[in-house]
Amino acid sequence: MKASPENQRALIEIAELDRRLEQAERARTQPAQGARINELAGVRKEQLAELTSLTGVLDDAQAELGRLESDVALAVQRRDRDGERLTATADSKQAQALENEISSLGRRISMLEDAQLEVMGRVEEAQAAVDAQQALIDVTQAEGAELTRAAKAAMAAAATEGEQLARDRAALAGTVAADLLAEFERRSARGGIGVGLLRRGVCEGCRMVLSGIDLTEIRKAAPDDVVSCPECGAILVRTEESGL
């Protein structure tokens, strides 16, 4: 295949644009923040599960406290009613019975109030645990939100860069002979190295030092001959730095 040295050198620029396009696409689809965002999503899931558990403990304690408060209210209501009946009665037997019941209710109220205080302490502890867990979740969510914003900005910037690089590549590719461009793209798709600059006897496509025999053969080629690297098969671009 024949191609002008200028066209061959243009392939190096196209290959560099392709490399940058790949980087831009990775940045667009796989932002640097992605791993941490996914990690935080897992952390938040665990934290929410723990919050659900702690909230259940709080709900149970609050329900128990509510029952105790109701029991105390009923016992106080009954004691007060018996007190009114005691004040109004003239029957000694009824008065004795009411006094006994009032005394019993007093003891029950005292026991209920002691239990109420104990459960109130548990409610406070459970509420503190829920608040602390929610604070952890808030920190996780704040970091996740900030990273997500940064990731979206980076992805948008990468998309913009990719569009510009694609335009630059199309413009440059338009200056290269169609058969040479097709051959470059075929080799790139086949092995990943479509072109390499020959510098001081080294193919910069595969970083291999060419043998003296290979360099002698390349030296015989005309400037517009399209030669290949004997190591990686890339189109080998020759310049004054090639060491030929």
Supply the pLDDT for residue 192.
Answer: 74
CATH number at residue 108: 1.10.287
Answer for the pair 12, 171: CB distance below 8 angstroms, yes or no: no
Supply the pLDDT for residue 21.
Answer: 96
Per DSSP bridges, beta strands 227-228 and 195-199 are unpaired
Q: What angle do CA 59, 65, 67 make, to 5 degrees?
A: 105
Whether residue 107 is found in the same domain as residue 145: yes
Whether residue 181 is found in the same domain as residue 163: no
Which residue numbers in the chain have pLDDT < 70?
A: 191
Task: Tell me if 195 is assigned to some domain.
Answer: yes
Last residue of a domain, one of 119, 145, 173: 173
Q: Is the dihedral of CA 148, 150, 154, 156 positive or negative?
A: positive
> Using CA atoms, how far apart are residues 228 and 225, in angstroms rounded to an integer?
10
Q: Which domain holds residue 99?
A: 31-173
Which residue, among 21, 213, 42, 56, has the nearest Cα to 129 in the 3D structure?
Answer: 56
Question: How many C-beta atoms lie closer than 10 Å to residue 84's C-beta?
Answer: 11
Task: Tell me if 23 is assigned to some domain.
Answer: no
Supply the pLDDT for residue 90.
Answer: 83
Whether residue 121 is found in the same domain as residue 200: no
Whether residue 196 is found in the same domain as residue 160: no
Answer for the pair 162, 202: CB distance below 8 angstroms, yes or no: no
Whether residue 141 is found in the same domain as residue 62: yes
Last residue of a domain, one of 148, 173, 198: 173
Whether residue 86 is found in the same domain as residue 104: yes
Answer for the pair 164, 20: CB distance below 8 angstroms, yes or no: no
Task: Tell me if 156 is assigned to some domain.
Answer: yes
Whether residue 216 is found in the same domain as residue 142: no
Task: Tell me if 210 is assigned to some domain.
Answer: yes
Structurally, how many domains does the chain consist of?
A: 2
Supply the pLDDT for residue 141.
Answer: 97
Cα torsion at 159, 164, 166, 172 (round to 10°)?
Answer: -170
